[in-house]
Amino acid sequence: MATLKTSMPANWAHSHSTDTNISLWQKFTVFADSQQERKTMWFFLALVVQGIFFLPLPVFLVYYYDAPALPVLLITMTCFFSTIIAYMGGASIRAVLLMSAISILIQVIMSVVVIIL
């Protein structure tokens, strides 16, 4: 009496692989939407990172690299306050994360340009 059927034919499921091209923007929006409950953490992180690394940047660039003081200071303060006001104003998490990333990118590009020139 055979209770196990060992001569069953294999019925393998055909896996249909579809190439889903997810763009960088779609990845960002999925990530940003998943961070909605951590918005306060992102606010404090932006406040600390920009306050520690990017607010002293004009002094460093002007003193060591003879950068023009007014443009460097204006760019730094505009980036800092626009990000902070967006967080405190209640903008969406997508907007504030994007604004933080753009602000950091602008300040890094400004620093590289000042150091190279």
Written as tens digits, the pLDDT of the chain (117 aa) is: 566 666 666 666 666 666 678 899 999 999 999 999 999 999 999 999 999 999 999 999 999 999 999 999 999 999 999 999 999 999 999 999 999 999 999 999 999 999 998
> Are residues 50 and 103 in contact, defined by beta-carbon separation less than 8 angstroms?
yes
The pLDDT score that the predictor gives to residue 4 is: 66
Token pair recorded at residue 66: 């003879």
The pLDDT score that the predictor gives to residue 20 is: 78
The pLDDT score that the predictor gives to residue 110 is: 96
Q: At what angle do helices 93-116 and 24-34 cross, to 10 degrees?
A: 120
The pLDDT score that the predictor gives to residue 72 is: 96
If phi > 0 it is left, if psi is from -120 to 50 it is alpha, else beta; for residue 20 that is beta
The pLDDT score that the predictor gives to residue 70 is: 96
What are the domain boundaries of the chain?
46-116
